[in-house]
Amino acid sequence: MNTEPQVIVIGAGPVGQSAALLLARWGIQVLVLDRRPGRDAGGSRSICQQRDVLDVWAAVGAGKVAEEGLTWTTARTYYRDRELFSWSFEREGPMPPFVNISQARTEQILDEAIAGQPLIEVRWNHEATGLTQDASGVTVHCGQRLLRAPYVLVCAGARAQQVRQSLGVTFDGETFDDQFLICDIKADLPGWESERRFYFDPIWNPGRQVLIHPCPGGTFRIDWQIAPDFIPTKTDISRKIRQIIGERPYELIWHSTYRFHSRIASRMRVGRVLLAGDCAHLVAPFGARGLNSGVPDAENAAWKLAFVLNGWAGDGLLESYHAERHAAARENLEVTAATMRFIAPRSVEERMHRRAVLEGGLVAEIDSGRFAEPYWYVDSPLTTPEPTRPFTGRPPKGALCPPAPGVILPDASIPGGRLREFCRDGFLVLLGDMCDSSLFVQVLGKVTTAPLAVRGLAEMDGTGSLTERLGAGPEEAWVIRPDSHIAAIIPHAGPESVAAALSRAMGGSPDMTP
């Protein structure tokens, strides 16, 4: 790195890697610090990657994650030996709804992308023990070493207690008693290659749960809920695997145990420091809402830091990072807390309720984890609401959310690529057929010096299928943020109303006009 970093990213896990690549994509010099001596060896760890996270990684040159990951199609849920129900994801655009791939391989792919990016430097054996900041920047304390940058993005994981304390940030929540045994095995299990299986109270793990996920290369990830004081031996592990797969040959690749937590930082922005990923929020793993929330943290932080560093926006945009991502973390805690009350009931009443639901096959009340979905910024200070396009709430499991202000833009194949590929270089304004794009370009150019593209929907897709997919009217204007979220949908749009929505989406006053 030839110049001083503009942003120091603390933590070289997938969230920190994603943040560095996203910042570099905006032309920002990044220094990544990690306390470890190098990359951890193997292990599946966080395996389920959601379509919108895959889209982010594709944008930074890590499309191999989607290409190599295994796309599973069906989620089956069992009570003991009886299947209760199954469901499948709706397909949207070119990206698969989910892929399974080991975190170790994901990190390798992201490392490859980082190696090809001259704006990123990674330093191992640099443990951040504290932060101090002033009006012009942040000093990172790494033992006796002091490093400095205008901004710091902390992606250091759950153990970043010293950093949180130096910022005055609390990390309130709880740790659950039961632990989980994870095993990665290689085996031939016909019919299981594209299915996720969740078992409540199977005879081979009475009173607790088992989750089985297929992974690439004929491997499977198995999670057993086990007692808090149970220390599994090799014999225990072998017996548990045999109870599931029978006498088929298998290879044990990796195993570990963990406890899960439910915690949230009191603040995700403190002055010139932003917190992202597990150092800001921890949730139970059911629903894959950990890494699939951490990467959107990184993207949200990256474009806003880039806009501020380039002088395109001010402090209001940076403060919206906390407003949006803290709300996302709270929603994830709410969703996973409800799951945990069903999976690991703590009172007699909760246990009786769960047993009645499972034995009665009351599908609507069975909660084995609602899978990760983007957080919808419908209440964000950056979003311009539109009464004719209300947010309709969480869609049914596996279904898509209809487009509305605050919701992420649906992806679609269009001539020259994917729709979302046109969103990530700045703001995008999509215009209906009856809008004069030249007039909008002239007026909007006076509102901002940030990257901005104004495109007609007919110009983007001459067949009309995109307009139909979005349900866009001929006089509508859609303002799309650099993270693909819809900032505004304006019916009967004029340049001034679009300019006001654009200003609001960059943290300015919604009343501002050119």
Of 196-200, 338-342, 415-419, which has the strongest mean pLDDT? 196-200
pLDDT at 33: 98
Check: CB of residue 443 under 8 Å from CB of residue 499: yes
Question: Can you tell me the distance from the alpha carbon of 94 to that of 419, in angstroms, rounded to the nearest whole number?
Answer: 10
* Amino acid (one-letter) located at 147: L
* pTM flag (> 0.85): yes
pLDDT at 509: 52
Percent of residues in the chain assigned helix, strand, coil, to nearest 5: 30, 25, 40
In the predicted model, is pLDDT for residue 510 greater than 70?
A: no
Query: Backbone phi, then psi, for 270, in 5-degree steps?
Result: -130, 100
Half-sphere exposure of 444 (CA within 13 A, CB side): 30
Q: Which of 481, 383, 386 is nearest to 430 (CA)?
A: 481
pLDDT tens-digit map of 224-257? 999 888 899 999 999 999 999 999 999 999 999 9
In the predicted model, is pLDDT for residue 274 greater than 50?
A: yes
Question: Can you tell me the distance from the alpha carbon of 478 to that of 488, in angstroms, rounded to the nearest whole number?
Answer: 6
Question: Can you tell me the distance from the alpha carbon of 160 to that of 510, in angstroms, rounded to the nearest whole number?
Answer: 37
**Span 27-53, average pLDDT:** 93
pLDDT at 91: 74
pLDDT at 513: 40
pLDDT at 289: 92
Q: Which of 151, 149, 154 is nearest to 171 (CA)?
A: 154
In the predicted model, is pLDDT for residue 1 greater than 90?
A: no
pLDDT tens-digit map of 315-356? 999 999 999 999 999 999 999 989 988 988 888 999 999 999
Q: What is the mean pLDDT of the chain?
A: 92
pLDDT tens-digit map of 71-115? 988 899 999 989 999 988 877 778 898 999 999 999 999 999 999
**Span 497-509, average pLDDT:** 90
